[in-house]
Amino acid sequence: MASASRRKFSPQFKAEAVQLVVQNDRPIVEVAGELQVNPGTLGNWVKRYRQDNPEPVQELKPADHARLAELEDEVRRLRMENEFLKKAAAFFAREQD
């Protein structure tokens, strides 16, 4: 069986393909199909781009800090309630025996 020769892509082609995915939030499979490129290959190009160009971390606004603190308090309270309910369920299960 004859092996197919590998296609070579220019850096400009790779960059433009990656930009179609990154800037337009389009699926890799869709863009790869349009460009007749293997989705795995395009995925590797996108992954390498994102490693080399991480998105800047956005700072939280004061309102976001307050909301985050609220949510953390609620999570803490709900975890405590959940633990209590687990213990109560175990207690009543023992009482049934």
3 — pLDDT class (breaks 50, 70, 90): low
- The tens digit of pLDDT for each residue in 65-79 reads 999 999 999 999 999
Contacts for 18 with CB less than 8 Å, ≥ 6 apart: 42, 45, 46, 49
Judge whether 44 and 18 are in contact, CB under 8 Å: no
How many domains is the chain partitioned into structurally? 2
Query: Does 62 lie in the same domain as 43?
Result: no
Domain ranges, residue 89: 58-97
Query: Does 64 lie in the same domain as 45?
Result: no
